[in-house]
Amino acid sequence: MKTLLLNDLTDIELQMLNLATSVRENAYSPYSNYKVGAAVLGIDGEIYTGCNVESADFTLTSHAECVAIDSMVKSACYETKLLLVVLESLHSPTFPCGLCRQKISEFTPDNELKIISVNLDSESKIYKIYETNLTELLPNRFTSDNFLNL
């Protein structure tokens, strides 16, 4: 993992940052007030976005990263090239949760996906930017290779 500056981001990463920041405002989070926006760059070159949608039954909550991937899949794109998430956090780096990591890995055949987390302060200004990859976050992912051969 490394820390980045805003000017370290590429043009496509800046575009993804703007889209994820914008869609984050649409998050439905009346219980936690924890809004997350995500942008996924598909292998087709398109950017797909998602935000979290909470439910009173938290097990029904949709995570921003999963919503973005679902959006990619509905467009018949099944592989990711880059993931960027935007959320409010002044704490240590905040990356996708375990559930999201596993879903992301389903659409990242080589497990080398670059993941950028943009942490905002309480006024929605960029506080810190972190970069890692899926291998670092999910070194022993569950894949179809884990199934028994029948």
User: Cα torsion for 42, 114, 52, 90, to the nearest 10°?
Assistant: -150
67: Cα within 13 Å, side-chain hemisphere: 22
Q: How far apart are CA 141 and CA 106, in angstroms?
A: 9
Q: How far apart are CA 115 and CA 145, in angstroms?
A: 24
How many helices (H) and strands (E) the chain has is answered by 4, 6
- Is residue 118 within 8 Å of 20, Cβ to Cβ? yes
Marked catalytic residue, from 46, 65, 88, 131: 65
Catalytic status, residue 65: yes
Catalytic residue numbers read 65
